Chain A
Amino acid sequence: MNAPGTSSTLDSNTSRPGGETQSLVLALVGSGGDGVALLGDLLLRMAAQQGLYGMMVQSYGPQIRGGESAVILRVSRTEVLYEGDQTDVFLCFRLADLKRFQGAVKLHSQSAVILEQSDTAELPEWLGRSGRETFRYPFAKIENGIEVVGDPKNMMALALLIRVLGWPASLARETLGHRFGHRPDVLSKNLAAFDKAHGQAAPPAMPISPGTGKGLFAETGNEAVARGAIASGLRFFAGYPITPSSEIMETLVDELPPAGGSVVQAEDEIAALGMVLGASFGGVPSMTATSGPGLSLMTEMMGLSSMAEIPAVIVDCQRAGPATGMPSRTEQSDLYHAIYAGHGDFPRAVLGVFDVVHARNVIYKAFYLSERYQLPVLVLSDAYIAQRRQIRNPVAEHPEAPHRTVWTPGMGPARFDIGGEHGVTPFRVPGSPEGTYLAAGIEHTQEGNPTADGSIHQQMNEKRFRKLKAIEQDTKSWFKTLGAPSAPCGIVAWGSQYGILQEWVANHPEYRIFLPEILHPYPLEAFEAWRKNLKSLAVVEMSFQGQLHHYLSGLTDLRDALRVTRSGGPPLKTSELKRLLEEATR
């Protein structure tokens, strides 16, 4: 079996985002219970159905419903992976809720502003000002000066917003029908509120160019990871709930059993990876998913996976910070952990996810590597991708799932034969007669028997690390570049920075971008070829320590490279990237 395709499979992503009239950014802010997330979701579904692209990011308190909530939604004629710098349409049910979203919402001179009629609060200074008149609507039901529960505000807002966007009411009714068809009482209540508001005066239209009319798909990064894994042969999953990765397990609970696999909610992350290793010891392709704290707990088990040569795919949806940190915020600070964590020397591979579409490809590649080379493969996603809902083209399924080379009676080599090609020996699957052996986390001979002999330890290390050499050869083309190859300024980045950099390079032709799909072993040969004749090189990432910069410094000469980084939190904006690049140059 050959290595999966290179960056060509990602070409669907290379279309440039359009200009102002081609794309519209909506910011929807409300209190918990106002249903702004549902409102954004409905608008995104409607965009997808018309053949428009878009993406939606949500912002709310870590794990708890209630409190203030904001949705940033961008709709576009072409694929978008970045939610934009400025807000075209701002809708807010209660200005007091806006405070937490400073920076995420920013008006320009032509922004449409829709506010609650009875809200007397002032727009904050940092929001900026629109030259257009604010549109006010009585979303809230007020009795004796106190707000009481009235008609669903989000349905009224939906009616106003589709008139701004120039979308037909029939599309909204159809979408509501799909979403609430199984709950007729909710549907009729929502439709009534929608129809009532749709008949009222609306803010001026800011119509977006129509889509192709050919329906597209909306998916979150976590859903894409789960579905990509099923398509890659996943048949056993164990995990423990953790923000921002839980939806991977939730999606698999619904979708893996019908595909012939099992899901376990484990008692902790140590058990989750343990179960994965048990299932994979049984010959079944297996995966777990977690976030930083869970990955920390899994670390000893990662070493066991590598030592006992049992394939495992480990997805880490990075959050911000150590310990608990900021669970619902994004960061790229688990890179060291993924590459280096664990006691002793052991090989593993580390891949990075660019966006929702790429998630499916990268998971396939993770299974390919882990099944072929019988070692742990870490896939680094992050909160920005995990929780984003993105409209995408249909994805081509891989014709066959990756599979491991399996031992059959009479085949010969011992389970851990040191002579195996690339350090890989056929996997003995329980049930196979005459194949019994001891898998062990303790150092072992070729047969698997425990040993404390230093020379055998040396030989076995050599065998196991031959896999890493082979992977390096196998994955030479696992990277992506953006921009003109002759552009004088270079940026090397990874993971979810892909979205903003795609936007950046479209507006800054003097830049070329290098994004490794595999972070360890690093595609160094391609990187060195790409960076030739650069006048400047910047390492862009979201980690206080600059983990990518530091990691690359150990692989190649980065003495002249700019370190462009900050701690996690909100994703980078292009305006911020511009400032950070300027500051680093100074």
Chain B
Amino acid sequence: MKAKDYRTPLEPVWCTGCGDFGVLKGLTQALADLEIPPERLAVISGIGCSSRLPGYTRSYSFNSIHGRALPIATGLKLSRPEITTLVVGGDGDGFSIGLGHLPHAIRRNVDITYTVLDNGIYGLTKGQASPTTEIDFKRSRGLAGPDERPLNPVLLVLSTGCGFVARSHAGNLPHLREMIREAIRYPGFSFVHVLAGCVTYQTPSYAQEIYQRCDVLPPDYDPSDLTAALDAARADRFQLGILYRRDPETGAESAAEMAGVAGVWKAHTGTDRGIEDVAHEE
């Protein structure tokens, strides 16, 4: 299957030039690379501009409520492990209203790929400051809200024990495709931070500025080194690439080790109503 075969006929509601188009493209390309059958794919979101994305992917999709995509994906993946389960959403959805779920999804280490399309703004509600809005930008645009420092999503997920952490930006399609592909491949909870500029409530030039503040990690970067990852997360410029990848087999807190210790008691024999049974019942 080709990338376009993972698209529904629906036309995205996004503004012309929105970074989310790039992510939709990169995501469908990654899915095509991995040859995941659409019926074995679930794309789940909360609410926001970027949360419209599941409607545009041919999959069992779920555009749920604001901030709650991670729990929904957790329930699906635990009860239907054979379904490739992706979560997409924005910075407000994931880092404000829904932030409480993120460390716990990481602790549970259920095999979900969470891609955040971070535009540093509430676009759907027309331009309020979000948890990742930079203070200088907020001041320059006169946005509502106190001068709170933005949070650092990559540092946050690293510090809570995420086994796979990558960053890319919506303007670098081949890189984005690779990051999402490798995240889906990772057997455990994986996190992809995508800088995706808003052309309406930020400016088209601001999106370009952000992209220009990015560096791809050097070839000799060791993604198994957590200290290096923490340094990269705290660097002044955005570091792109796989910042951290814990060995899922041997690394501390491997998937096998995590199963059953973080509040998940798994079925002893798999569900006795397998998909074949369920799908053919009437």
A-side interface residues toward B, CB under 8 Å? 233, 235-236, 238, 253, 256-268, 270-272, 274-284, 286, 300-301, 303-304, 308, 403, 405-406, 408, 428-442, 449-450
CA distance A442 to B13 in the complex (A): 14
B268 lies within 8 A of chain A by Cβ: yes
B44 lies within 8 A of chain A by Cβ: yes
* Residues in B neighbouring A275, C-beta threshold 8 A: 71-72, 74-75, 78
Interface residues of B in 69-104 (CB under 8 A from A): 70-80, 82-83, 100-101, 104
Query: Known contacts A257-B266, A257-B268; is A278 also within 8 Å of B74 by CB?
Result: yes
Kindly identify which residue among B10, B80, B108 contacts A283, using a CB–CB cutoff of 8 Å: B80
| B268-A430 in contact (CB<8A) | no
* Residues in B neighbouring A439, C-beta threshold 8 A: 60-64
B272 lies within 8 A of chain A by Cβ: yes
| A260-B271 in contact (CB<8A) | yes
| B265-A257 in contact (CB<8A) | yes
B68 lies within 8 A of chain A by Cβ: yes
Min CB–CB distance B151 → chain A (angstroms): 18
21 A-B interface contacts by CB (under 8 A): A235-B272, A235-B273, A262-B264, A266-B263, A267-B104, A271-B68, A274-B74, A274-B75, A278-B74, A278-B75, A282-B79, A283-B273, A283-B278, A301-B65, A429-B279, A430-B275, A431-B40, A431-B80, A432-B275, A436-B58, A436-B61
B136 lies within 8 A of chain A by Cβ: no
| A264-B263 in contact (CB<8A) | yes
Query: Known contacts A264-B78, A449-B55; is A278 also within 8 Å of B44 by CB?
Result: yes
B282 lies within 8 A of chain A by Cβ: yes
CA distance A301 to B62 in the complex (A): 13
* Residues in B neighbouring A267, C-beta threshold 8 A: 100-101, 104
Known A235-B79, A408-B280, A436-B38; 11 more pairs at CB < 8 Å: A235-B272, A260-B268, A260-B271, A262-B78, A278-B62, A281-B72, A406-B281, A430-B42, A432-B39, A436-B58, A441-B65
**Chain B: which residue is nearest A283 at the CB level?**
B278
Summarize B's interface: helix, strand, loop or mixed: mixed
* Residues in B neighbouring A428, C-beta threshold 8 A: 60
B-side interface residues toward A, CB under 8 Å? 8, 10, 37-40, 42, 44, 47, 52, 54-55, 58-65, 68, 70-80, 82-83, 100-101, 104, 108, 263-273, 275, 278-282
| A258-B280 in contact (CB<8A) | no
Min CB–CB distance B207 → chain A (angstroms): 25
Kindly identify which residue among B63, B100, B273 contacts A438, using a CB–CB cutoff of 8 Å: B63
* Residues in B neighbouring A437, C-beta threshold 8 A: 60-61
Min CB–CB distance B88 → chain A (angstroms): 13
* Residues in A neighbouring B100, C-beta threshold 8 A: 267-268, 271
Query: Known contacts A432-B39, A436-B59; is A278 also within 8 Å of B65 by CB?
Result: no
CA distance A256 to B78 in the complex (A): 14
Min CB–CB distance B222 → chain A (angstroms): 32
Kindly identify which residue among A271, A274, A436, A442 contacts B39, using a CB–CB cutoff of 8 Å: A436
* Residues in B neighbouring A261, C-beta threshold 8 A: 267, 271
| A282-B75 in contact (CB<8A) | yes
Min CB–CB distance A335 → chain B (angstroms): 25
